[in-house]
Chains A and B, each alone.
Chain A
Amino acid sequence: MDDRKLVFFTSIEDQGGVIVKETPKFDLDLYIQNYKGRTRFERLFHIGRSSVPLCVDALKAAVQEAKAGKDILRYQMAVNSLFQAARNEPEALLDKAWLDAKAKENRETTLHLQAELQGYKNNLIKESIRMGNEDLGKHFEAIGDVEAAMDSYWKMRPDVSSTEQLVDIGKLLVRVAIERHDWKSVANHLSKHVNSANDSDPKAKALKTYARIANGIAALGQERYKEAAFSFVEANSDVSPEVYNQIASPNDVAIYGGLLALATMDRHELQAHLLDNDSFREFLQREPHIRRAITQFVNGRYAACIEILESYRPDYLLDIYLQKHVPKLYADIRTKSIVQYLKPFSCVRLDTMQKAFNGPGPSIEDELFTMIKDGKLNARIDAINKSVMPLSTDSRQQMQSYALHTFEDYEKQALDRIRRMNIMAADLEVKGTRKPGSMNDIPMGMAMEGAGDLA
């Protein structure tokens, strides 16, 4: 890494960014071709600021992408980053003429569209008002003013005349909410607008897939991994990627769905919902290594599954939505693999496990120690004979202790509540002055001052 890049990535790391030094397996051009709209810039810019090998290529592509659009802020951001990483590149010089011309053009378009909308409003033509708001919203979105775009899209609602139009508004709002990473709003708009579509509509299938993918991304953002996994595996592969390529690609569906399912579903669920799911299998064909990882997991070859996933870690760390969750998802998959590996045995030697799960992290004993301590694995380690023994759950014993504990707790609570009733009936509560947080200044007796120590 040259000095400039080093300074650039050091500053990103200091800001809490993730730096990926390994070369990813994907081709940047082919990768970005899968997307349409503003997500292209976002993804290129994200890769440019995360991947050391792809930094310059990605940022140059981001500059070109920004220049092809209207968002002057994005252009400035991309040029600025490229300048820091590789100032000798021709794209690293700010094109001020373009910038001024685009800013002027944007201002004029905004004024023109606002005047047009005002005219529609004066004429009280509902359909024109709706379209005027839509045009204005799309313009704001294109120039990067997402707040104003959201506002304009929202103003379309009173003037809709069909379910289809309502659904379109929902999709626009969802797209903007995803760009803002406002996951709660995504789910909200989906339930309010997009799910209201009539299932018998021929477009319903496409809409449902769009909704599933958007919901999956939102649930992933909120760390509701299982819900996200089910959302992705319910996407329909017959639907054209054109429907959803402004938020994700079919490859993303396979990767997101596969990884999340591996982290949250058991072997039977993986078989039923992923491998036996004709529609999702189509997605998996685009990412065969994910399919192999799932198959290895289902067949009990956990080490092979983990090995495949580890080899693709750099790729997933460059994904705009996945990056933050990769360490947690990988840790969950590894934990689940160890738990599943131990299930059929009554005792396993630690060196056998060390070979099976030879990961980059701590020794297998330390890993098992942490898992058992955190309650993720029900087993005991014999550190002298170097083995680990899974414990089976005795349901009968659990039921007995639960029942006895419940009875005892009931008696204790009943007595406590009766005591409290008697305190209140005797008018012996501590009374305040109706100001929450005030202290009832009762003088302390001799027993209270410095009392109670063991000296």
Chain B
Amino acid sequence: MDRRLSVLTAFPPAAGIDNEEYYKESQQHAKRVRELIKDNAQWIRESADDILKHVNPAVHSLSYLMILDYLLQASGRASQQAHESLASYMTEFFLQFDARQIRCTGSIWSDILKEVYNEHSVFPSSIAVEVVTAALLRLDPSGSMLTSHHCHLVELAYSTGNVGPVLPLIQKPIIYMPAKGMSTTQPLCDMSLPPPAYINPDSQLTDALTSFAVLQYDFLCGLCFVERRMWQQAFDAFERCVTYPTRDGGCSKVMTEAYNKWILVGLLLTGKPPTLPETTSQAAKKIFATQGKPYKLFAQAFKADNAGDLTREFQVLNAELLPNEGNVELAKLVLAHYQRWQIINLRNVYTNISLDKIRERTQSAETGAPLPSVEAVGQLLQSMIADGSLQGAIERPTDGSPAYLTFLSAPAQGLSEVEFSAKVNKVAQGIKALQPIIEATNKRLASNREYISHTVKRQLDAAREHKLGLQIAGGGFEESFHIEEEEDLMSGLPVH
């Protein structure tokens, strides 16, 4: 038994070997473990608990994973009993595994992870969401690579109401998308590799995705943030859908739905209608202009001083679209925030203002009229001060004169040189940190056919302009003709 256990714990090797050696050893170890499992299947099935207690998932992750895989297979993938008995080991593994070893395993890690979140899973959804979130963050701590597991996870989290545990993952900015043909010549266990080099359909740590899956991921992230009242994050997520790249006049239904929600969340976040970013495709803009028009009119009414306009637009929207698109409560919240934003904006005009004047200057969009009494204004102000949306204090003079609101102003003075320099340095570090991301993207583009043809076209254009420039400057036609002939079209391309 000691000999067999020692086989399982023989990997990872001692520190000091290079990535290639490490990768070779991992493959040899995997082969040895497979043989061990084949020759000692009965022993493994009968002594599974003992074995898994001796093998540390944080250190001997590869062996642990292969044993788990065998046990799940041996008891039948669909066997609930087997899953229940192995659930604690799976949890332990996904919370502790060594990401470097997992990069060498191929599909086994993905297959077992799917067992945690698929529809036959024995895990309670709250645990499943927490475990998968932890696993994905262990595999790629930067969280910048979108995988098929992300898409399933966020759908599970939103549909089962377990948004809290998934937040650490969905708040990470997604930069890379899985694509085929991304395999690298470097060993996958090289920890300096960018995420797309080791997480891709070829390495089987993710499945290939479709544009719909990517859009749906951002849309569901937006819904999760809406549920948690995280307006800025929700707005950013919906904006990613709205500005999603399209070609040949394409626009997805998810994009139009996201556009409607993006407008409503934008109103809650900033108190004014959001402006479409420049990166929005022309085709999408046209479709938003027609299909999102009722929402746009609703947003424009939010700007008006008269709450009646907004109430009327809400009624139009509510009769036609809101219930079908599941936006009733969100739009009602916008109505409730209308007066709040009017009060917040009063800080740009007043230092002190009586509660009576606030009642006169602002209106509730829920009723289309001013609040019924000064006391109601006082209560609204108290709630706004309490939730931090209003920086102010209600003063009640002792001489019996009416109560008034004092806006607390932010410190008027700017930052000191040292503070400013520290802030600039911090932002500069963030920009410098983009360098490896840009390099990884460059490498990726170098294998993209369209990018190469675009680059070649650009070089041809540049050569043509250069030729024209020479002609204008007095160079002969013959001379300029040869320049184009001798041009090396492939020079200057990023090294693949």
Contacts and interface: CB of A to CB of B under 8 A. Distances in A.
Are A and B part of the same complex? yes
B329 A454 contact: yes
B159 A447 contact: yes
A234 B79 CA distance: 93
A394 B244 contact: no
A261 to B, nearest CB: 30
Contacts of A455: 328-329
Given A442-B252, A453-B326, A411 B283 contact: no
A418 interface: yes
Contacts of B261: 452
Interface string A129-150: 0000000000000000000000
Nearest to B173: A415
B350 A419 contact: no
B413 interface: yes
B254 A444 contact: yes
A383 B357 contact: yes
Interface string B171-202: 00111111100000000000000001000000
B279 to A, nearest CB: 7
A452 to B, nearest CB: 4
B444 A422 contact: yes
Given A383-B350, A415-B173, A422-B444, A394 B283 contact: no
A453 B227 CA distance: 8
Contacts of B352: 382-385
A202 to B, nearest CB: 41
Contacts of B214: 423, 428
A431 B248 contact: yes
A382 B245 contact: no
Contacts of B246: 429-432
Contacts of B243: 416, 420
B415 interface: yes
A447 B216 contact: yes
Of A373, A426, A439, the most chain B CB neighbours within 10 A belong to A426
A214 to B, nearest CB: 39
B249 A381 contact: no
Nearest to A372: B349
B159 A389 contact: no
Of B173, B174, B283, B329, the most chain A CB neighbours within 10 A belong to B283
B330 interface: yes
Nearest to A431: B250
A331 interface: no
Interface in B195-230: 196, 209-212, 214-216, 219-220, 222-223, 226-227
Contact of A424 (B210, B245, B282, B287): B245
A362 interface: no
A113 to B, nearest CB: 51
A397 to B, nearest CB: 4
Interface stretch (B118-126, B378-386, B431-439): B431-439
Interface stretch (B15-23, B38-46, B422-430, B476-484): B422-430
B251 interface: yes
Interface in B226-247: 226-227, 240, 243-247
B253 interface: yes
A158 interface: no
B339 to A, nearest CB: 16
A349 to B, nearest CB: 14
Contacts of A360: none
B366 interface: no
B452 to A, nearest CB: 11
Interface in A400-455: 400-401, 403-404, 407-408, 410-411, 414-442, 444-455
Contacts of A416: 240, 243, 279
Contact of A389 (B251, B351, B361): B351
B333 interface: yes
Contact of B428 (A385, A407, A425): A407
Interface string A98-112: 000000000000000
A411 B435 CA distance: 11
Contact of B415 (A381, A400, A432, A441): A400
A425 B330 contact: no
A31 interface: no
B143 to A, nearest CB: 13
B413 A430 contact: no
B353 interface: yes
B227 to A, nearest CB: 7
B456 interface: no
A380 interface: yes
B486 interface: no
A429 B250 contact: yes
A232 B430 CA distance: 54
Given A448-B257, A452-B326, A430 B215 contact: yes
B130 interface: no
Contacts of B275: none
Contacts of B287: 437, 439
B50 interface: no
Contacts of B313: none
Given A416-B279, A421-B445, A429 B434 contact: no
B254 A369 contact: no
B451 A425 contact: yes
Contacts of A268: none
A396 interface: yes
Given A432-B247, A447-B223, A423 B177 contact: yes
A439 B245 contact: no
A126 B359 CA distance: 78
B253 A453 contact: no
B226 A454 contact: yes
B255 interface: yes
B423 A404 contact: yes
B306 interface: no
Of A437, A438, A452, the most chain B CB neighbours within 10 A belong to A452
Interface in B410-461: 412-415, 420, 423-424, 427-428, 430-431, 434, 437-438, 441, 444-445, 448, 450-451
Nearest to A440: B250
B349 A380 contact: yes
B327 interface: yes
A207 B190 CA distance: 80
B88 interface: no
A396 B330 contact: no
A453 B328 contact: yes
Given A423-B214, A430-B245, A432-B283, A441 B414 contact: no
B412 to A, nearest CB: 7
A432 B247 CA distance: 6
A431 B215 CA distance: 13
Nearest to A426: B179
Given A397-B413, A429-B247, A431-B247, A422 B441 contact: yes
Contacts of A444: 253-254, 257
Contact of A445 (B178, B216, B350): B216
B70 interface: no
Contact of B226 (A425, A432, A435, A452): A452
Of B250, B324, B330, the most chain A CB neighbours within 10 A belong to B250
B286 interface: yes
B56 interface: no
Of B173, B248, B348, B354, the most chain A CB neighbours within 10 A belong to B248
Contact of B175 (A419, A432, A439): A419
Contacts of B330: 452-454
Given A389-B351, A411-B430, A448-B216, A420 B245 contact: yes
Given A404-B420, A422-B175, A454-B330, 12 more contacts: A373-B349, A381-B349, A381-B353, A389-B351, A400-B415, A418-B437, A422-B196, A423-B245, A429-B247, A438-B249, A438-B251, A448-B219
11 contacts: A381-B349, A381-B351, A411-B434, A416-B279, A421-B445, A423-B245, A428-B177, A431-B246, A436-B249, A444-B254, A446-B159
The 9 closest A-B pairs by CB, nearest first: A432-B250, A397-B414, A426-B179, A454-B329, A432-B249, A407-B427, A450-B326, A432-B248, A426-B177
